[in-house]
Amino acid sequence: MVAEAFTVDLNKPLVFQVGHLGDQYQEWVHQPIVSKEGPRLFGNDALENFGHGILIKQLVFQFLTRTEWWAIPLIWLPVFWNLIRLITTPTTTHGVFGGGLLGYVMYDCTHYYLHHGQPSSDPGKHLKELYEYTSMAAVSPDAVTKEMEVLSVEQNPQAKNVVNAETHATSSKDSKVADSNGSHSSPPEDDDDDEAQGDGPSQDGGSEAAKKKKKKSKSKKKKGPPQQTDPPSIPIDELFPSGDFPEGEIQQYKDDNLWRTTSEEKRELERLQKPMYNAVRRAAEVHRQVRKHMRSILKPGMLMIDLCETLENMVRKLIKENGLQAGIAFPTGCSLNWVAAHWTPNSGDKTVLQYDDVMKLDFGTHIDGYIVDCAFTVAFNPMFDPLLQASKDATNTGVKEAGIDARLCDVGAAIQEVMESYEVEINGKVFQIKSVRNLNGHSIGPYQIHAGKSVPIVKGGEQTKMEEGEFYAIETFGSTGKGFVREDLECSHYMKNFDVGHVPLRVAKAKQLLGTINNNFGTLAFCRRYLDRLGETKYLMALKNLCDVGIVQPYPPLCDVRGSYVSQFEHTILLRPTCKEVISRGDDY
């Protein structure tokens, strides 16, 4: 066990003996020691306790467990505290001491659980196996080997057959040796056992099969990100656990801005803005999945209020609505026919979607105030296809022309040229499609759907240029009517003015309603259905009071002449430093 010239005396302190073992130390230290108290490191009791204390393993597993419970808080905690005070500054002493104490408690609890507990999860079981392996290694390597064999047999039925075969072979060999020495052989085993041993694979083949089966079982346990359900119900952030959401369509700048594509400085600016890009891409992915489902279920005969509530509830679920941090950016617009924008059914509305209707479905999502504003038009009658195609192509033209340093008037002129190149035949009468000259696209800011700049859809607009880092909603409206809208019908859309200051209110209900608006919408648009959903009742006079004093702005429906039809398409774009990203682009449009 040890060097011939030296033998360790377990009744004497070990610290001055083990150095004489030389190369035999590794063999000696793994031999089991049967002793009630265990060998000592030092002869002196004080040195013995101190020697245990300076070794981390002994500190956790032996010294503290052999010390009376009251010794730790009364003796060692003050010692550790004063030691830390000596080696740290006054501002860091409490943090270092608390962190060390917390780390020890966590470590000790983990050790206790692995020693006494029975983990049920795979990681817990694996940790317990490693713990038992290291604990047994200090006692006997042979015991480790046997224990691992038992674990392997329990986990792999095929390996059990191999062990049975080896056991049978060993017993047969022993019986032969006994016969040669003149002793009686043991009686033969049952036929069933022989068949089981005969069918079992060879030792090498069995171990290979066991390894393959174990690998397969592990691969089966590895699950990728969940797949979206139909209808969608899994939040988007759970579908992308890495936190990186899909990019929109990338369009390169041209002419004088072509250098941006390869500029390292601009690329670094984009890297700094990645959290913001991911937030708005998450909102865009919610928009894509919701509108894809809605397009698949839309059909004549649906109540408009049911349509809107289905869409909005789906948005709330996929985006994990959370107050002003994530949710719906503005009410669902589902304007019909000559109504161009800003119409959504109020509570109790019984409007039904018809086969010959042209519906503009305009809804928005946001994360941390970064808004995705995107819209499309639905028409069941193919007669309206040219009208829809006109506004779709005009919107894509506006997206293509937009960019850093592009003038807003030039974008509007390009949109009008494409829009008015279309005509549509409706019930035997041909109409030239017109751009609605008093409706515009717009810049978007955090928690601000209209951030100040307007993108016209006719020529002759302002000379203002688009700038780096701006968000824009490029939207176009094509009409068979006059191409000019006015406010009409019952109002449903409202929004708190972005720049409003303190305005004194005398009506108590108005004050209470303003608190509800601030807490739930801030400066995002809302509708009367949203107030109903929050439990507000008898609020119309209070809401009128807020509008009269200028705190809240009403947005009534915008209508062309009755009997006409208006279509709309819209995308949100981001003018990144190196390229233009169409945030809301999807497979549908």
Q: Among residues 312, 362, 393, 581, which one is catalytic?
A: 362
293 is in an annotated binding site: no
Q: Which residues of 287-315 are buried (b: 16+ CB within 10 A; e: fewer)?
A: bbbbbebbeeeeeeeeebbebbebbbebb
- Could you confirm whether 362 is annotated as catalytic? yes
How are strands ordered across the β-sheet holding 493-496? 526-527, 493-496, 552-555
Phi, psi of 142 (to 5 degrees): -65, -40
Residue with tokens 């919107």: 395
Helix-strand-coil split of the chain, %, nearest 5:
50, 15, 35
Structure tokens at 358: 């042209």
| C-alpha–C-alpha distance, residues 334 and 303, integer Å | 11
| C-alpha–C-alpha distance, residues 538 and 541, integer Å | 8
- Could you confirm whether 442 is annotated as catalytic? yes
Q: Among residues 287, 366, 442, 571, which one is catalytic?
A: 442
Query: Which residues, 6+ apart, have CB-to-CB distance to 186 below 8 Å?
Result: 171, 175
Task: Report the Cα 467 to chain-centroid distance in Å.
Answer: 31
Query: Which residues, 6+ apart, have CB-to-CB distance to 106 below 8 Å?
Result: none
- Could you confirm whether 230 is annotated as catalytic? no
Task: Report the Cα 515 to chain-centroid distance in Å.
Answer: 31
Q: Among residues 166, 450, 470, 488, which one is catalytic?
A: 450
- Could you confirm whether 570 is annotated as catalytic? yes
287 is in an annotated binding site: no
Q: Are 258 and 252 in contact (CB under 8 A)?
A: yes
475 is in an annotated binding site: yes
487 is in an annotated binding site: no
Q: Which helix (H) or strand (E) holds 493?
A: strand 493-496
- Could you confirm whether 450 is annotated as catalytic? yes
Query: Which residues, 6+ apart, have CB-to-CB distance to 584 below 8 Å?
Result: 248, 284, 287, 288, 372, 373, 374, 571, 572
Of 236, 248, 250, nearest in space to 583 by CA: 248
| C-alpha–C-alpha distance, residues 367 and 372, integer Å | 9
Q: Among residues 285, 312, 357, 373, which one is catalytic?
A: 373
- Could you confirm whether 571 is annotated as catalytic? no
Q: Among residues 475, 536, 560, 581, which one is catalytic?
A: 475
Q: What is the DSSP letter of 558?
A: E
Q: Among residues 366, 570, 571, 581, which one is catalytic?
A: 570
94 is in an annotated binding site: no
Give me the long-range contacts of 218-222 (CB less than 8 A, separation at least 24).
221/122
Catalytic residues: 362, 373, 442, 450, 475, 570
Annotated binding site for a divalent metal cation: 362, 373, 442, 475, 570
Binding site residue list for substrate: 342, 450
